[in-house]
């Protein structure tokens, strides 16, 4: 032996680029607006808002009456990989829930994530990427809030 240890690093760029810190900021921003979120709907947040193409679709859409069906129809290439993103980001989502519950930032009551305190993002400098996500959040919430979770999973072709 030469005394060197082989260390395996997580080389999954997608995971590194989309980490729990960013996920936590995104969820706290959402929870600042709506205070509680269905856990199953919460699984859709990261594949939607951590994907630059999806965020751009939301930001660049001037039609406030756009439905999720129309968004998918108008941007099929963006949504073809949604299920893959969904599955890749589930561990990040679960880690976010665990970390933020342990930190007393959220509570889980029945099937909902409950916000336990507001974060002020007004003067925060969390980078250009987070700023873009912030712009997309209201439109994202408009698309999902009034829809049944089963409908959302079906239209987004989520395979569990």
For the chain, give every domain's residue range.
18-155
Q: Tens digits of per-residue pLDDT, 35-68? A: 899 999 999 999 999 999 999 999 988 766 688 9
Give all strands of the β-sheet with 106-109 in edge-to-edge order.
36-38, 112-115, 106-109
Task: Check residue 8 and give its pLDDT.
Answer: 44
DSSP states along 57-82: HHHH---TT--HHHHHHH-HHHHTTH
Give the integer Cα–Cα distance in Å for 155 and 151. 6
pTM as predicted = 0.82
């Amino acid at each position: 032996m030469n005394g060197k240890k082989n260390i395996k690093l997580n080389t999954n760029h997608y995971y590194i680029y989309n980490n729990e810190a960013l996920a936590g900021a995104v969820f706290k921003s959402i929870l600042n607006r709506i205070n509680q979120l269905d856990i199953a709907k919460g699984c859709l947040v990261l594949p939607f808002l951590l994907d630059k193409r999806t965020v751009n679709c939301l930001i660049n859409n001037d039609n406030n009456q756009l439905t999720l069906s129309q968004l998918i129809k108008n941007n099929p290439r963006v949504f073809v990989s949604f299920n893959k993103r969904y599955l890749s980001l589930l561990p990040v989502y679960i880690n976010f829930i665990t970390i933020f519950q342990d930190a007393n930032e959220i509570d889980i009551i029945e099937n909902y994530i409950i916000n336990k305190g507001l974060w002020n993002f007004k003067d925060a400098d969390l980078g250009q990427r987070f700023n873009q996500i912030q712009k997309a959040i209201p439109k994202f919430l408009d698309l999902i809030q009034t829809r049944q979770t089963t409908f959302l999973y079906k239209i987004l072709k989520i395979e569990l």
